[in-house]
Amino acid sequence: MLRQGDTGDWIGTFLGHKGAVWGATLNKTATKAATAAADFTAKVWDAVTGDEFLTLVHKHIVKSVDFTQDSNHLLTGGQDKLLRIYDLSKPEADPEQIGGHTSAIKKALWYNEDRQIISAADDRTVRLWDRVSMTEVKTLNFNLSVSSMEYIPDGETLLITYGRTIALYNTSRYCPAQI
């Protein structure tokens, strides 16, 4: 179900998943939507009409989806501990994969003008990955499982939630932000 952000009014429905939807995002122009679900799929939709463009099958539950700035690639993460990068212009091609987390991925985001990826997982880490080399650049360790995170690009801030804590991290030094 899609609702108007400021009023909460129902404005449409995306029908197609056979399980709970764990994550959703819009592209930069709000013309495409992507969803991550318990039915082991990520789907790409026409955000205006609600029509399904594409189903991307995974081996386990998908928890997170994120478009690149140009909407040409989709990043997914989930229970199988892998980050996948799909080229949406070649949906039949196998996705690029990045492994390294030891537990389910809760959230994965494009970062630094899509040159890097940030991922948060049940293994109590947030990891920074280089997009070109597909290697881990930095790991932040926490004493509890990371439940979610959001990147705030204008202030170079990463908001991370774990346990009963909301932490702000400065992304230029990857240390707690001074408020």
Map residue 70 onto helix, strand or coil: coil
What is the average pLDDT score of the chain? Answer: 91
Higher-scoring residue by pLDDT: 69, 156 = 69
Using CA atoms, how far apart are residues 33 and 102, in angstroms rounded to an integer?
29
Q: Which of 123, 176, 179, 149 is nearest to 66 (CA)?
A: 149
pLDDT at 22: 93
Using CA atoms, how far apart are residues 59 and 39, in angstroms rounded to an integer?
10
CB 168: neighbour CB atoms within 10 A?
A: 14
Residue 19 near residue 38, CB atoms below 8 Å: yes
pLDDT at 133: 96
CB 119: neighbour CB atoms within 10 A?
A: 27
pLDDT at 7 over 90: no
Residue spans per domain, the chain: 2-146
pTM summary value: 0.91
For residue range 124-168, list pLDDT tens digits in order: 999 999 999 999 999 999 999 999 999 987 768 899 999 999 999
Tell the CATH topology of 2-146.
Answer: Methylamine Dehydrogenase; Chain H (2.130.10)
pLDDT at 14 over 80: no
Residue 110 near residue 117, CB atoms below 8 Å: yes
pLDDT at 125: 96
Using CA atoms, how far apart are residues 164 and 99, in angstroms rounded to an integer?
28
Query: What are the two backbone dihedrals, phi and then psi, of residue 39, each rounded to the nearest 5 degrees?
Result: -85, 15
Give the distance from CA 70 to its chain's centroid.
Answer: 16
Confidence tier at 5 by pLDDT (50, 70, 90): confident
For residue range 70-111, list pLDDT tens digits in order: 999 999 999 999 999 999 999 899 999 999 999 999 999 999
Q: How far is CA 136 from CA 7, 13, 98, 116, 145, in A?
A: 41, 38, 9, 10, 19
Higher-scoring residue by pLDDT: 4, 140 = 140
pLDDT at 11: 65
